Structure 1
Amino acid sequence: MYQIKKDRLPELFAAMAEAQDLFLPIRKCNQTNYGLWSEEAQVDLDTLKTVKSGKDCFFPQSETLYNCKKEEGKLSIDPAKLTDTPFVVFGMRACDVQGLKVLDNVFLNDPVDSFYAARREHGTVVAIACHEPEETCFCKVFGIDAANPAADVAAWFVGEDFYWKALTKKGEALTESVKELLTDADEAAVEEEKKQIQAVIEKLPYSHLDLSRFTPERTMELFDSPLWEEMYQPCLACGTCTFVCPTCQCYDIKDFNTGSGVQRYRCWDSCMYSDFTMMAHGNMRTSQMQRFRQRFMHKLVYYPANNDGMFSCVGCGRCVSKCPASLNIVKVIKKLGGEG
């Protein structure tokens, strides 16, 4: 384990950015999101949760797939270049790192998504433990330890020191590249920090939600529950929950006329929208209740049934704090689980 003084982090960022792109939480217009580091950037590591997670660095909100042109009667297709250079995503939290594992099960299984796979291959994740978890956090419910982020490098803030521990070969390679800035550290201070974080987590209001009813055996029972008609009523179908979620993976593919050809790109989509999965004959889900039910059944039942029990929610709490109608997965878990 290594450490560096907190006030020397700009030196660490500069060293990492010398050989590769560095993405980390940047504050702009009173919002904190992941962005490319520069000396002028307002780095914000104090905000516990960025508006959107670091998912953007691996599965961008919008990306070009290929460009088509027709010249002198001949059609040419120019595929977008896959990521082929290393980059670092610095400052992710344990819940968002788990979110990448959820995406891995989707995009790295056959058929493999080459764009996502290239970014995962070249990206190194430095995750920071949550010094002060918030009331909207409930990662513990899904077996995630906010005190021990399982990334390429795990890091902790303790007082005026920043502690650093490589956990994978990628993490070791990154550590080697900045080692001259780091000094050896005793893990005792970090162990105390972990205990403090875990003590806070135990006291959070949503840390002990009961998931026992959400099993494959109860799929139809949950699907047919009359409670959906009650729960969905305040939903505005705005899609905010899906766009701030670190595990949502739905996207649409669209064509844009550039004037000299066609650009095909993909962009995030939302199962909460009425035109989601629209086909020639119409939409399979004709009501907002059906769309609302689909979102939460996927998170809590369908996905774990097909991924060895792994839930497609990581308890980050973004939907709890961002939904304008105060609807979120916590309310669904409580209601269907018999608590609310």
Structure 2
Amino acid sequence: MFALQQDKIDSLFELISASKALYIPVDSDKGTADFKRWSAGTKLSSALKTVRSAKDFFFPKAEKLVEYKKNGTTFEVVDPRKEVEDFVVFGVRACDAKSFSVIDAVYLNMDPVDSYYKNRRDHGTVITLACNEPAKTCFCSTYNIDAAEPAGDVSAWLADGKYYFKANTQKGEAFIENAKSLLSDADEKAVDTLKKDIKAKIEKLPFAHLDMSKFQGKDMLKIFNSKIWDKVSETCLGCGTCTYVCPTCMCFDVRDFKNGNEVKQVRCWDSCMYHDFTQMAAANPRLTQKERSRQRFMHKLMYYPMAHEDVFACVGCGRCLESCPINMNIVKVIKAVQEADDI
């Protein structure tokens, strides 16, 4: 394990940015935090979470898939995957780090591999940061995610005025090697104390250990046909906010845009909460918000786990709890399922 004085963090950022693009959480004028590219004078936010997750770096809200340029009778095909540079994301929390493996299971570990997503994963290095002060809306521990021991290429902790770093992958080891001029060897005493403190705080959170016992494959049809969906969906606006802040939502649409002699094909996020998400030429199988709400939560809590060795497609980040304008969220759904008398 290696350590760096907290007041030297800008020196580390300067070192990283000399060879790679560096992104860190930065406070916004709205009182929230977002990932921004670091430059001299950019200050690291102390906020627990960014509004949107670090998923954006690997699965952007919008990305160009291909570009065609016509010049007379010839066409030039531009592959944007060649334009991606090496980058480092600093300050990723344990929940967001777990979300990468959830998306990896679909875009990397199934055929066909999503080459655009893979390209960004190959170019990116993730430095996670333990959550010293978990929020009341956090429930990552429900899914056995350890906020005190975040995954990533490098795990980091802030304790006793120092940042502590531990490499977990080859990328992480390369990062440590590159930064050794600023780092010093350190024992794990301060980090071990911090971990115990974080775990104690997590145990006191209201949603630390939600009951997930009914979310098993054998109960899928019971949950699907339950009357709870009428109540769960009755106030939903279908705005899609929950899907846009969620670190594991991965649905998208593909559109073509023509500008003179150029055509760009763009992939952009989509949401199963939108009425036209399943619109087909002949019909729409999800006509009401009930069907759309049910699909979202069934996918997170039933369909994905059934296909991926009981791993839930929720990481307990709490963003949907904080963002939904009518206070509808996945925690309420989990509780409704557990309390339902028809499941």
Question: TM tier, shorter chain?
Answer: over 0.9
Rounded to whole Å, the distance in 2 between the matches of 1:187 and 1:159 is 12
Rounded to whole Å, the distance in 2 between the matches of 1:81 and 1:102 is 22
1:257 CA displacement: 2.1
| Identical-residue share of aligned pairs (%) | 48
Query: What is the aligned partner in structure 2 of residue 125 from structure 1?
Result: 126
TM-score between the two structures when normalised by the length of structure 2: 0.96
Structure 2 residue 312 is the aligned partner of structure 1 residue 281: no
Aligned pairs for 1:156-235 within 5 A: 156-235=157-236
1:84 CA displacement: 5.3
Q: CA RMSD in A?
A: 1.4
TM-score between the two structures when normalised by the length of structure 1: 0.97
Residue pair 1:94, 1:149 contacting (<8 A) in 2 also: yes
Structure 2 residue 149 is the aligned partner of structure 1 residue 148: yes
Rounded to whole Å, the distance in 2 between the matches of 1:216 and 1:315 is 21
Change (3 A) 1:198 1:217: same
The one-letter code of the counterpart of 1:77 is V
1:190-225 deviation line (CA, Å, top 9, x unaligned): 000000000000010001100010011111000000
Residue pair 2:228, 2:340 contacting (<8 A) in 1 also: no
The one-letter code of the counterpart of 1:23 is Y
1:168 CA displacement: 1.3
Q: What secondary structure sits across from 2:243 in the alignment?
A: helix
The one-letter code of the counterpart of 1:302 is Y
- Please, which moves more after superposition, 234-243 or 279-288? 279-288
Query: What is the aligned partner in structure 2 of residue 53 from structure 1?
Result: 53
Residue pair 1:83, 1:118 contacting (<8 A) in 2 also: no
Query: What is the aligned partner in structure 2 of residue 71 from structure 1?
Result: 71
Residue pair 1:93, 1:127 contacting (<8 A) in 2 also: yes
Count of paired positions: 339
Rounded to whole Å, the distance in 2 between the matches of 1:159 and 1:319 is 32
1:138-193 deviation line (CA, Å, top 9, x unaligned): 00000100000011111111131111111111101000001110111110110000
Rounded to whole Å, the distance in 1 between the matches of 2:29 and 2:282 is 43
1:299 CA displacement: 0.1
1:83 CA displacement: 5.4
The one-letter code of the counterpart of 1:276 is F
Rounded to whole Å, the distance in 1 between the matches of 2:148 and 2:43 is 26
1:82-104 deviation line (CA, Å, top 9, x unaligned): 45542111100011000000010
Structure 2 residue 64 is the aligned partner of structure 1 residue 34: no
Residue pair 1:94, 1:129 contacting (<8 A) in 2 also: yes
Residue pair 1:88, 1:126 contacting (<8 A) in 2 also: yes
1:57 CA displacement: 0.7
Structure 2 residue 306 is the aligned partner of structure 1 residue 302: no
- Please, which moves more after superposition, 20-29 or 162-171? 20-29
Gaps of 5+ in 2: none
